[in-house]
Each structure stands twice: as C-alpha cells, then as structure tokens.
Chain A
Amino acid sequence: MENSTIKSSKELEEEIVSEFSLFDEWLDKYEYIIELGKSLPIIPEKDKTDSNLINGCQSRVWLSSEYRDGRVYFKADSDAIITKGIISLLIRVYNGQTPEEILNSDFSFIEKIGLKENLSPTRANGLLSMIKQIKMYALAYEAENNNKEQADYGK
C-alpha cells in the first residue's frame, strides 16, 4: 500500500523547488524553513542517543533509520530550528524511498532552493554529515538486501 502513495524523490525535489520559487526574499524563505522546523515532530528523548548523534560545532543533529519492505524510513531532529527545517525537507524527499534511489540522488535541490551555504563544511551544523549518514544507511540496507537475496537464492 505504502509504495503506491510514495512519489519518487525526483518528483518531491521538483515540488520543493517550485514551492521555494514563490519566495522573492530571503526573509520569507527563512520564515518558511523555521515553520517547517517547528512542525517537524520532535523525536523522543530516548532516541536521542549518542549513536544517533551527529555533532557539529554549531548545532547537533540526531538521525535514526528503519528499513521496512524494501524502503528506508528516517527520524531526525536538531536543536537548531533552521537546521531542523532543512532536515524536514530532506526527510520529505528521502523518507520511504528505496536504498537504490537514495544512493542515486545528488541532493542538489538544496542548492536549487538557495540554501547551499547550509551544506558548506564551514557551517559545521551537522547537515553535511547528516546527508552522508543518510547515504550510509541506504548503503547498509542495500548490502543487507543483497546478502538476503543471495541467501534466499541459495535455499
């Protein structure tokens, strides 16, 4: 059921890019991101473990993932609202996608909506590491999948 309702990450990226094209001013854009940040569900304290923590000098990001029926589901949070808002965009695009689709995306929509500076290594806000972590999870699940397929084949 879930599969039929999920749009591809490309479609979702285009959706976000077109939403952001409505904003002329940085202020409106940031107000929108802040709203997104405020509305992203806060993950329970018990999930904010050190193993889920991505430490930046500026802000902290927590990311956990789950693999169900061939798709990856993410939960994420940050102590900074702008970072959290950008996280909610990433989650919107990559939540429920297949590992393969996640591994093939280049995350360039962030640049297209004019938030590239937030992914700069100098920002040290944890976002860049978060994207790496999203890909790592996808890679791990893909490997798990392949192993399972091989095992099934052998049966």
Chain B
Amino acid sequence: METINQIRAQFSALQQQVYGKPLVYFDNAATSQKPLTVLELQQRMSSGINANIHRAVHKLSADATELYETGRDEVRKYLGADSREQIIFTSGATASLNLVASSFGHQFLKNGDKVILSEAEHHSNIVPWQIICERVGAQIMVLPVNIRGEISVDQFSEMLDEKVKIVAITHASNVLGVVNPIKEIVQIAHSKGVPVLVDGAQGIIHCDFSVKDLDCDFYVFSGHKIYAPTGIGILYGKKELLEKMPPYMGGGDMVDTVTFEKTTYAPLPLKFEAGTPNFIGAACLAPALQFASSVRQSAEIKLYEREMTAYMIKELENIEGLTIWGNPSNRELKIPVFSFTVEGTHPSDLAQLLDKMGVAVRSGLMCAEPLIRKFSAVGMVRASLAPYNTKEEIEIFIAGLKRAIKMLR
C-alpha cells in the first residue's frame, strides 16, 4: 500500500533491525514511534529555541512560549474542546489522573462517598483513587466486565446512587481493546448529577470523538502514545469543575501574587501548571496531533485499520488453543489491541521467543492486574498495532508465534 509506505517512511525507528532481523514493532499500546516532524521540532527546540516559558521578555523565551501555547491550541482542536483554558499540560495520563483524584477528591469526596471504576482500568486509574479514598474514607465500587470484555450500561445505572461522586472509566481498555459506551455512561451519570472522567490513553489514538460530543467532564491522555515525546500529557476538564478544584501542586507560574501571608492563584490553565513544564514535549504535541489527524481523516487508512484488525483476529483464531481476550459483540468496537493466551505456553516465554525473531510484543500483567487475573492467572501476550504496521508484519508475527508455540509445547 502506497499510503502506508509513505507513512512508514516518516518513522526512522521502524527502519532498524534487531538481532539482525527487521523490527516488527507491535507494542504500540505501550508507546508509539515518533514521526520525523516531531523529532525535528524536538531537535530544533533542544538545540536552539531553549528558554523558559512565560517568564522572560527576551526573544528565545517568547519563541518557546509561543510554541508551547501552539501545542495547547492543537490539543484543544484535536479534542474538540471549547477553550484553551480547559487544556492542562501534565507529565502524562498518570499525572493527570493523580491530579484529578487528589484535587477533585479533596474538594468533593467525603467520608462514605463512592467512586465508580470499571474492572478494566489500568493501575493508573485505580491507585490514585485508592489513595484519596483511603484518606477521606470513601469507597471504590467496581463495574465488572463480562467474558467478552464489555461493561453493562444497565448494571452501571443500578450502581449509581446518591453516594457516588465521580465515575472514572477507560475509553478503551489497554488489555481488551474494547471501546466503552462512554456517551451513554456520561448521559446516565449526568442524569444523577455525577461527573465522568475518561482515561483516553488508548482511546485518543484509535477513537473518533470530541469531548463536547462525549460530554465527559475530564479526559486524560499521554503524548507518547500518540506520536509525541514522553513526559507530556493532557488533562482536559470542564471549566466550572476545574475552577472549583484546588491547585494540585504549588510553585512557579501557577500564581497570581505571592506574599508569605496569602497567595492568589493564576487563572486556568496555569493554576495547574506549577514549575517549569516539559515545554518541548508540549510544543511537539502540535506536529504529533497534526500527524494523528491526517491519519484519522484518511478514509483509506481507516479502512486499512479495520482490515488489519479483521485479518489479525482471523489469523489468531486459527491457532489451536489460542484465546483472544476482548471480543465485543460489535466488532466495530475493537481497537487493534490484541491480548491473548495460548494453552500450554507461558506468555513470558512466547514474548521472549518472539523478541528473538525481531517481533516486539508486551507480556505479563500490563499494569491491569485485577483484570488480567480475572481471565488468566499468569498474564497475557499483547500485540498492538499502529497505522504504520503492515500486513506483512502480521504474517511475520503469526509465523513467529506458531514457531514459538511449537518450541514450547
């Protein structure tokens, strides 16, 4: 495919060999590779436009600040948010989740209150809530997933009572690759006046949506999973909530005036951006998201992604004793994240042998221990695709997997 080859050409990391074999990179749900436009801006800023933002009158600082704020504008556009005040830079989805759990929790969670999480959450969307709940005496309620990896909207409705103060749920699970019915969840929660946080770490790259359409109250994601560098992440929030929430960290740039008696805080979004941020990472979100939009807007690439997903499922299902975890009844709701187990083999052995064949996959508990343990005691193997992956790579992966299984059984 011509288009795919053009896309691949922008990713120098994909051109390398490991152990003398061409790299097949199927660990995209962990982190994506970076296109040339991102690498170039990163390099240009590190070597030239390096000055602290929002602080100085000099030319370099102004240039760096402008690039930083351009990153924010691009995020606003990509998410379909109303205003740039709603886009807060953090160090990643984990930091965004900690910010909300701590700040929202301090303001709104009291002894006896409840927080609803789904069973398919990443540790990053479990542990920060446990920390705040333990502190204030609130309780976590778990919305289960069925054997297909789907949640039940009816069950969710039944769990919602007046004690529930927030719902935190993943857009799409990093293990199951199943897209959750966020819009319905939000509608139901809002009918009871409960806000919803969406963990978009995986959803951001595979789902078409706008935060306005979803109507969620918070949306978080990491830059590095969507072609930007590591160490930059986003918290989107509804203005009225962000304004009511206290600052999470104190420091430079988040203040209005400081005296030893009383400090007043800067308006949004700076109120939540204490200290020198990763301004190069933030600026790099602009080319990263431009690349992501060009991919998402291409009907050809979208079709290709669906074909690749169907092909992968067909090939995996042909392997005897292999179980794919995450099979939504509506196949449209499956993103190209494939976690599986194979009878008579251990996930770590499979991943290790695949690695020797040049295929990068993830294995183990994938930071979602409660979910993994529900389906498989020892862990799973996960292959996750990006638009730059090819059918030939799936063939290499499947052949390698079959060979590894033969060696291990």
Contacts from A to B (Cβ < 8 Å):
26-27, 30-31, 34, 57-60, 79-83, 124-125
Provide the bound-state CA to CA distance between A34 and B347, in Å.
14
The one of A26, A31, A58 that contacts B348, using a Cβ cutoff of 8 Å: A58
**Inter-chain residue pair count (beta carbon < 8 A):** 41
Q: Are A34 and B408 in contact (CB under 8 A)?
A: yes
Contacts of A26 in B (CB 8 A): 19, 356
The one of B349, B364, B365, B379 that contacts A82, using a Cβ cutoff of 8 Å: B349
Q: Are B346 and A79 in contact (CB under 8 A)?
A: yes
Give chain A nearest CB distance to B289 CB in angstroms: 30
The one of A30, A58, A60, A81 that contacts B356, using a Cβ cutoff of 8 Å: A30
Instruction: Give 11 pairs: A residue, B residue, CB < 8 Å, sorted on A.
Output: A26-B19, A30-B353, A31-B407, A34-B349, A57-B365, A58-B363, A60-B378, A79-B378, A80-B346, A80-B378, A124-B364
B352 within 8 A of A: yes
Nearest A-chain residue to B356, judged by Cβ:
A26
Contacts of B347 in A (CB 8 A): 58
Q: Are B19 and A59 in contact (CB under 8 A)?
A: no
Provide the bound-state CA to CA distance between A26 and B356, in Å.
8
Contacts of B408 in A (CB 8 A): 34, 81
Contacts of B364 in A (CB 8 A): 57-58, 124
Nearest A-chain residue to B366, judged by Cβ:
A57
Interface residue tally on B, bucketed by range: 10 to 19
Contacts of A82 in B (CB 8 A): 348-349, 352-353
Q: Are B348 and A30 in contact (CB under 8 A)?
A: no
Contacts of B356 in A (CB 8 A): 26-27, 30
Contacts of B352 in A (CB 8 A): 82
Contacts of A58 in B (CB 8 A): 347-348, 351, 363-364, 379
Contacts of A30 in B (CB 8 A): 353, 356, 407
Contacts of A27 in B (CB 8 A): 356
Give chain A nearest CB distance to B341 CB in angstroms: 12
Contacts of A81 in B (CB 8 A): 345-346, 349, 408
Identify 20 new A-B residue pairs, CB closer than 8 A, beyond the known A59-B348, A59-B378, A125-B348.
Answer: A26-B19, A26-B356, A27-B356, A31-B407, A34-B349, A34-B408, A57-B364, A58-B363, A58-B364, A58-B379, A79-B346, A79-B378, A80-B346, A80-B349, A80-B378, A81-B408, A82-B352, A82-B353, A83-B348, A83-B349
Of residues 85 through 106 on chain B, the ones whose CB sits less than 8 Å from some CB of chain A are none
Contacts of A125 in B (CB 8 A): 348
Nearest A-chain residue to B367, judged by Cβ:
A57
Provide the bound-state CA to CA distance between A80 and B378, in Å.
9
> Per-residue CB proximity of B245-262 to A under 8 Å, as 1/0?
000000000000000000
Give chain A nearest CB distance to B381 CB in angstroms: 11
Give chain B nearest CB distance to A55 CB in angstroms: 10
Contacts of B379 in A (CB 8 A): 57-58
